[in-house]
Amino acid sequence: MTRPVNATSSIHQPDDAATSAALTLAALRARMEDLYALRDLSLPALSLPGVANPMVITLPADPDAPLDQFSAALDGRATVDKLEDAALPETMAIRETSAAAEQARAAVAAGTHMPYWGLLWPSGQALAETIVAERAAFTGKRALELGCGLGLTAAVALAAGVRLQAADCFTEALLFTRYNTLRLAGETPDLLLLDWRTPEGQIACRAGGPFDLLLAADVLYEQEDVAPLLELAPSLLAPDGVFWLAEPGRRVSRGFVAAAREAGWRDEERVYERAWPPDDDVVRVVVHRLTPPSQQ
């Protein structure tokens, strides 16, 4: 595995590799700063061998900034296309799936999904901690993450030896994911611009499978999200595959888990309840290890 590049790391790379990574990180950060003021947040609860400790995640300094800009775009005071295109050039390590990307952009432009990617959700942190705690279950596996957001879970997965594809419908999220994974894990996942709820998005997800692992943290917000995920998840998994889902007990996410159990999925739970950074709100998060009926 490529060693991480981080200003606090004592691990040395060959000068050419370190210089190239540093230049890429600088270019990515400059593009991020064009979009938002940034904040670097230390996460001492997360630690993996070979990764600078404590881990530091970069996110918008104002967690409402992506939502405010997006609302302005929908109100006609800016254009969604301008916000979206600003992130594209540096993230196009993306495996281009044009039809899926078009549907994702259309969903974003219509305001179908809100840009919650800029928040450091407790569910993403809990899923990352589960990967650390259950590292043997992840190392060497092929995985797809739905809704990669800031890239924290993706960075920990890569550092744990997961061969990862990461998908999101917001190009800004892919930009932050590329930066945070490169900075923390020394590599980036295959990035996919798609909306997993759309027909073309589901086709694009399946095209990369089957996967040993499906990862998702806090991706269920609307009732109409439940049926597409119930349909998609089993079709993405290899015969012995596992779906790791982290959720904070919202009505829709609880409904999805209940529906999965009713459909024959086996559910093993890992519960986290504590104050989470950056706001230290106490949240109960459940990480579900879901195995499909075909394995029963």
Q: Which tens digit of pLDDT belongs to each residue from 252-285?
A: 999 999 999 999 999 999 999 999 999 999 999 9
What Cα–Cα distance (Å) separates residue 21 from each residue in 8, 24, 55? 15, 5, 18
CA 29 to chain centre: 18
Low-confidence ranges of the chain (pLDDT < 50): 1-13, 77-94, 96
Cα–Cα distance, 258 to 97 (Å, whole number): 33
Cα–Cα distance, 288 to 149 (Å, whole number): 19
Q: What is the pLDDT of residue 76?
A: 66
| DSSP at 283 | E
Cα–Cα distance, 291 to 86 (Å, whole number): 39
Q: Residue 252 contacts by C-beta under 8 Å, 6 or more apart in sequence?
A: 220, 221, 222, 223, 225, 226
Q: What is the pLDDT of residue 131?
A: 97
Find tokens 């918008």 and name the residue. Answer: 60
Residue type for position 20: S
Cα–Cα distance, 37 to 66 (Å, whole number): 11
CATH H-level, domain 1-296: superfamily: Vaccinia Virus protein VP39 (3.40.50.150)
Nearest CA among 203, 140, 152 for reference residue 45: 152
